[in-house]
Structure 1
Amino acid sequence: MPESATAAPPLQVSSETAPLRQVVVHTPGEEMALVAPGNKDELLFDDLLFVEEAREEHATLVRLFEAAIGDAGAEGGAVLQLSDLLREAFDGADARESFVEALVELLPERNFEAYEAELKALGPDALHRFALTGQAPFAVSATPLPNLLFTRDLSAVVGDHPILSLAATAARRPESAIIRTIYHHHPRFAAARERLIELPEDVTFEGGDLLVVNERVVMIGQSERTSLGGVLAVARALLDRTSVEHVLMVNLPKERYCMHLDTVFTFADDDTCVVFPPIIEEPRDHVLHIEAGAERGGDGPREFRMRPLPSVREALEEVTGRSYTFIPCGGADPIRQRREQWTDGANLFAVRPGLVVGYARNRATYEALARAGFHVVSADDFLGFYGDAAAASQDRIAVRLSGNELSRGRGGPRCMTMPLVRMRNSES
Structure 2
Amino acid sequence: MSDNEKRFKNPVHVTSEIGKLKTVILKRPGKEIENITPKTMTRLLFDDIPYLPAAQKEHDHFAQILKANGTEVLYLDDLVVDSLSKPAVRKKFVDEMIHDAGFYQGVVHDALIEYLLGLKTPAMVSAVMQGVRKTELQLKTASLRLLAEDVNYPFLLEPLPSLYFTRDPAASIGQGFSLSSMAFEARKRESLFMKYVVNYNDRFAGKKIPVWHDRNKDNHIEGGDELVLNNHVMAIGLSQRTSADAIEDLARNLFVNSNYDTIIALKIPHNHAMMHLDTVLTMINYDQFTVHPEILKNGQLDMWILHPGKDGRIMQEHHTDLIDVLKAVLKLSELDLIPTGNGDPIVAPREQWNDGSNTLAIAPGEVVTYDRNYVSNELLRKHGIIVHETLSSELSRGRGGPRCMSMPIVRENI
- Verify the 8 A CA contact 1:96 1:120 in the aligned structure 2: no
* 1:274-353 correspondence to structure 2 within 5 Å: 274-280=290-296, 282=298, 284-294=300-310, 296=311, 302-322=312-332, 323-353=334-364
* 1:25-174 correspondence to structure 2 within 5 Å: 25-69=26-70, 78-108=72-102, 113-115=109-111, 117-118=113-114, 121-122=117-118, 123-135=120-132, 137-138=136-137, 141-174=156-189
Q: Deviations over 1:231-277 (max 9, x none)?
A: 11111121121111100000111211110000000112121111001
Give the structure 1 partner of residue 283 of structure 2. 267
User: Aligned with 1:357: secondary structure?
Assistant: strand
Cα distance between partner residues in 1 of 2:206 and 2:298: 44
Cα distance between partner residues in 1 of 2:191 and 2:104: 15
Cα distance between partner residues in 1 of 2:399 and 2:233: 28
Shift of 1:105: 4.4
Task: Choose the corresponding residue for 2:202, options 187, 205, 209.
Answer: 187
Shift of 1:349: 0.4
1:198 and 2:202 are equivalent in the alignment: no
Cα distance between partner residues in 2 of 1:178 and 1:7: 19
Task: Choose the corresponding residue for 2:381, options 346, 370, 378.
Answer: 370
Equivalent position amino acid for 1:331 in 2: N
Q: Deviations over 1:266-304 (max 9, x none)?
A: 11212111100110464535100001012x2xxxxx110
- Verify the 8 A CA contact 2:295 2:301 in the aligned structure 1: no
Q: What RMSD over aligned residues (CA atoms) do the two structures have, in Å?
A: 2.2
Cα distance between partner residues in 1 of 2:39 and 2:280: 30
Cα distance between partner residues in 2 of 1:253 and 1:235: 22
User: Aligned with 1:330: secondary structure?
Assistant: helix
- Verify the 8 A CA contact 2:81 2:121 in the aligned structure 1: yes
User: Aligned with 1:414: secondary structure?
Assistant: coil
1:361 and 2:351 are equivalent in the alignment: no
Q: Deviations over 1:110-167 (max 9, x none)?
A: 8674446426633413421222112275267111111111000011111101110111
- Once structures 1 and 2 are overlaid, which stretch shifts more, 120-129 or 161-170? 120-129
Q: Give the gaps of 5 or more residues in structure 2.
A: 139-154
Question: Structure 1 310/90 Cα, relative in aligned 2: closer, same or farther at 3 Å?
Answer: same
Cα distance between partner residues in 2 of 1:109 and 1:222: 31
* 1:391-406 correspondence to structure 2 within 5 Å: 397-406=386-395
Shift of 1:31: 1.4
Cα distance between partner residues in 1 of 2:265 and 2:328: 14
Cα distance between partner residues in 2 of 1:161 and 1:213: 15
TM-score in terms of structure 1 length: 0.85
Give the structure 1 partner of residue 15 of structure 2. 14
Identity percentage over the alignment? 32
Equivalent position amino acid for 1:118 in 2: E
Equivalent position amino acid for 1:135 in 2: V
- Verify the 8 A CA contact 2:179 2:195 in the aligned structure 1: yes
Give the structure 2 partner of residue 422 of structure 1. 411
Q: Give the gaps of 5 or more residues in structure 1.
A: 297-301, 375-396
